[in-house]
Structure 1
């Protein structure tokens, strides 16, 4: 028998990301807190004894020196459950609510292994004692945040890029495409570019953080990379301060960043620049669309929805629209539309927060009692799509 009135409280919404976790409550417009999905323990601590040592989580871990870092998610999938549990506990601490009090809606990556989904439920029900749970695919929530149930979601975060076609609230798993090319790869590429431009090594964790901040604050995507590169060479951008942007380091030193500003995110369209063995995202989109039923292809190209922090670069929408129109057949080219909402960095969380607040969603929660009686079967039956919304 249920012992709490959890359905009278707004649900907790947790959007798991390889780079950051976004946390908040159903019905709210933005997450209450966002922090890095990372934990750290002192370097001199043995992993086997780390349970008795202080564990730093999120921003605190990155600010502390002398730590060994653990990233519980790799390419969008949980790989270290002990550390993931610590990140979730930190999220509840930040929200200042006990997990036993409210339902939780948790997001997951497309093609998340079944065993991982089951482990999520086991951890939250048994270790955290949540009263009710729902797990939903991130791409579906992105569409829902923009009032859609059909479209092709290009979701690029820190650890992975997914291309997910969705029709009537249901994903098409056979057509989902996954690229292990995302924000973390761009940060590493920026480290190389800065090393070349500034003629100094960028190898430490502190250097990585500088590269990430430079990437997020100064980078843009050129509409024509070759023309931009030629103009930079003619203007001698990397030889003096002309055409460069200043960036202040934590110690107060000012560096000037040149062509790295547009060369860094260019690998999304041309991964070969960084010796990455992948197609550019424009080709991945076309391949994804062409793997879908022929009668849906123009419709999907007409609703390519960007999501995730790695799509926030200035020029992203225009460049992708141009590339897709050039690659699509003539009839479909006229219909190409790339949607880039200003809040797309949080679109997954926003969609989840809207969904969890709906009265019509009440029957989609899995309670502790149901989980105890039916096990993982109820999880897979109830969390596979948003088809109930599109009926």
Structure 2
């Protein structure tokens, strides 16, 4: 282990108790999407307390804090919002207790992803203490509304706030592995209009549910016959996730039916390609159904109301990319063992950062997927500390690599 990595490990261990206590404080503060204000205040206050050079809360409610003055900008992303607690009777501990023991932190958001935010913030403190930021600026981005609309906050940061990092670390849970890709996603709405009639004379009407049933059957067949396959991400998927219908009464023929499709997009599939697949189904055409993208228009906690088409492109970074190589080097330097490279099955803010805007993204974060969105969510303290070490080491190593190679704004695949 080189001297720099030894210092990062030692400094992180000095702050081990503080990191975990801050994570627990975040867990105790409920922050459903659209209600992240309390967590945003805690994050901003902590960054100021730790001596960050600049702390900003933008009009959408995202919190940004930076350390360093170097021209290379490296950002770390973690979303502040969580899903709901669900059935609290299924929790061994109260979901917002922020309990901890010798090995784990517990509560909603522990793994997804408040412990990661604590790691991101304290990585800035470690970098500042060790005076490692001459060649780069490290920016922590604690973002809003990821759970219902991933990428939304980063579209705002890039397109409205002018934030343009050289690389972004996505701190979603990766079980101590390095993630190089994720599938894209989109939400489609299919609407069918029929003709109501009295249920005693159904032949006088046109049942929208029956027309939709034929569409559902063809969608199921389509879901098993998708052909585009990527060696890392595999094939896409198609799931009918919601359905509603309407009729003048329970004794009437349904005159309206609507369903939602969650379509996961592998590398090589675009939202428009997947949209046309559905539009071309014989049952869709026979029913003269409307097929369109859902839009997201829920206000942030500041009151800002977005209008986002629910399309989220895939992203992938190559194994020989300078971002990947420097991340692997940082892991080996810290832990004296090669890392495992993986891909994420879920969607992240990377859909906007790299999928839409082409800014290189790589993933590493504390926690396991199996602990997310379930009762008794937890994260291992060991992984939280390793993540803090990694964020600091990834920044220093990446900056050194691009300076050595003369690279500026490394290009994505």
Taking structure 1 as the reference length, the TM-score comes to 0.24
Q: Which has the higher contact order (CA 8 A, sep 6+)?
A: 2
